[in-house]
Amino acid sequence: MCLTKINIYYGGRGVIEDPTIYVLNKMTEVLKELRVEVNRYNIYEDKNAISTLPATLKGVDGIILGTTVEWFGIGGYMQQFLDMCWCYADKQQISRTYMLPVVMATTYGERDAELNLIKAWETLGGIPLTGLAAYVENPDEFERNESYRIIIEKRTESLYRSINQKMMNLPTSNLAVKTNILKTRTIELTPQESEQLSRFASNETYVRQQKEDIEELSAMFKKMLGEGAGEDMPKQEEPMPYADDGGSRPAGKNRGEAEDAVVAAFMRSYRPEPDFNASYAIIISDQDQILHIEATTEKIKCFYTNSNEADVILRTPAKVLDSILKGKTTFQKGFMAGEISAKGNFKTLRMLDTIFPFSVNQNRM
């Protein structure tokens, strides 16, 4: 027989005298006596990973949302959890999940907070039930009151019966508003994609790196706009001459000669930077070639290989690379124009135009 599964989400601060903790503990005891599988999540303990909590709704039959009104409203932790449910949770799962709100207040506002939780769960598409809401002036007296204990137990049993009897609620305007007006302004994702995205969102290192990359791109784009404001379009130049060994091969630019010329151009234009070492893999998309560059403060290695393992991986057609070698454009401008795709550290990518100043070299020629 499949056990009923109920999750408890506690949105308070975890202080000892919080009456919500007492209520949730009592409800847990009753549910376990009814052979219910209960999982408790203290949101304040997972505050750095709140965006991953909607994934825990998978496979549950019901949930209990417990929070404490200490001065105003349901509190920040519970609000963040509900926000993440709106962004990342599986709405199909929520549509068949029962929710019982538990709100204990040490100040005014427990009824408003309970109503907010009910309205939020209805808007998400779930099934809210009548909850427990109370004003608690003295936690010790509240816990010793036998009548209050019975009310808590009866309401918990009611949650269990509602889930197992598949009780339905009458339709509400909140559900109509969600269906006809409210739209989640995000791309359509599968539950698995939403779970993966929520893990990325909770990874502080990943988010910080993404912000730094965006700042680098913004600065680079602004710099390019500033530099390009007073520039004329570069004149068309004759194609770069390629070496000819004068041997048995016919005159002209065959593939081997072109490869030699590209490697020679990088070798000739290299300008090392102090304390800078990096590797680049340039995938020439229309020629099925990978040009590998290893740049150090002492020397440079440039050769063709079958491996694309490097600090920065670029992909571009041969004509764009040829334009860069001729000084008509730069790696940065090609990237911003979408002619070059790149993967890796943007600071390292930006250094390409510093260590290979093709446009400066062409102007000196």
Q: Give the pLDDT of residue 127.
A: 95
Q: Give the pLDDT of residue 222.
A: 62
Ranking 36-45, 59-68, 71-80, 219-228 by mean pLDDT, the lowest is 219-228
Q: Give the pLDDT of residue 26.
A: 96
Q: Give the pLDDT of residue 335.
A: 84
For 224, the 3-state DSSP assignment is helix
pLDDT of 249 higher than 50: no
CA distances from 88 to 26, 180, 276 (A): 31, 20, 41
Helices (H), the chain: 19-33, 76-88, 91-95, 110-124, 139-144, 146-164, 173-180, 191-202, 204-228, 255-269, 318-325, 331-336, 346-350, 352-355, 358-364
User: Which is more confident, 338 or 61?
Assistant: 61
Q: Give the pLDDT of residue 172.
A: 73
- Tens digit of each residue's pLDDT (9 = 90 or more) over 202-234: 566 666 776 777 777 666 666 655 554 444 433
Mean pLDDT of 154-163: 95
pLDDT of 62 higher than 90: yes
For 330, the 3-state DSSP assignment is coil
pLDDT of 57 higher than 90: yes
Rounded-to-integer distance, Cα 240 and Cα 164, Å = 78
CATH topology of domain 205-225+252-364: Nonspecific Lipid-transfer Protein; Chain A (3.30.1050)
CATH topology of domain 5-201: Rossmann fold (3.40.50)
Rounded-to-integer distance, Cα 191 and Cα 298, Å = 51
- Tokens for 25, please give them: 């503990």
Q: Which distant-in-sequence residues (6+ apart) come within 8 Å of 38 by Cβ?
A: 6, 7, 8, 28, 31, 32
- In this structure, are residues 174 and 119 in contact, taking their beta carbons and an 8 Å threshold? yes
pLDDT band with cut points at 50, 70 and 90 for residue 252: very low
Q: Would you kindly state where each structural domain of the chain is located, as residue ranges? A: 5-201, 205-225+252-364
For 326, the 3-state DSSP assignment is coil
Q: Give the pLDDT of residue 99.
A: 97
